[in-house]
Amino acid sequence: MKTVNVLSALLLAGVSSAQTPAGFSPVVTEKLEVTFGSKNVATGGQALTKADTARQPTIGISGPADKTYIYMLIDLDANTNFANPKAGQPATYLHTVLRDFKASGAASGAGITTLKTTANGPVGWFAPQPPAENPPHPHRYTNLLWEQPANWQIPSAANTMLQSQKLGFNVTNFITAAGLSNPIAANYFNVTG
């Protein structure tokens, strides 16, 4: 009985704290604050519009942030056939990867440290633009944050993935190719075409 209770407690804790969509690997439990203008993504899967998400969000993490960070935005519900989604297969699509984020000032009263970068790459901001689909279906735009290794020069295999393998982008393979550890914070929002 005791084992069962411990297991269910662990399962509940895991379910309630995942900030990545169900089925996504790696699972991330720390929340990435993602705010578009005045709209904060309060809970994973919150619905936003294309207009809401047109401009690059402000991001932040809880507590102090004394490292350098990499941000990624990836659509988990794209399609191998943009022109005719019905004829294609579901696929991921890499939108954005920005490097060199650092703390911008001290944590707010709520304990959130805003992160800023002046970099516009290695893959500049590309807003969610899901095509109209019949039936319409929400695309889960997943936001991931990594600690950026000191003096990080992006390995060429990882850069090739970023520049030319956006459709079907595999985050696990990217982590290995880029020499990163697992992401430290995540969040996702939905946009429907």
Instruction: Return residues touching ligand NAG (CB under 6 A).
Output: 170, 172-173
Cβ proximity to ligand NAG, 163 vs 173, nearer residue: 173
Query: CB-wise, 89 or 170, nearer to ligand NAG?
Result: 170
How far, in Å, CA of 68 to CA of 47, rounded?
Answer: 29
> Which token pair is 160?
């090739």
The distance of closest approach from Cβ of residue 176 to ligand NAG in the complex, given in angstroms and rounded to an integer, is 8
Q: Which is nearer to ligand NAG, 52 or 166 (CB)?
A: 166
**What distance in Å separates the CA atoms of residue 1 and residue 32, rounded to the nearest whole number?**
36
The CB-nearest residue to ligand NAG is 170
Closest C-alpha among 64, 147, 68 to residue 105: 64
What's the closest the beta carbon of residue 25 comes to ligand NAG, in angstroms? 7
Two structure tokens written together for 158:
């990882």
Q: For residues 175 and 130, what is the distance between their CA atoms, to the nearest angstrom?
A: 26
**Cis peptide bond upstream of 136, omega within 30:** no
**Cβ 10 to ligand NAG shortest distance, Å:** 24
Please, which residue, 80 or 120, has the CB nearer to ligand NAG? 80
β-partners of residue 55 are none
Beta carbon of residue 93, minimum distance to ligand NAG (angstroms, whole number) = 12
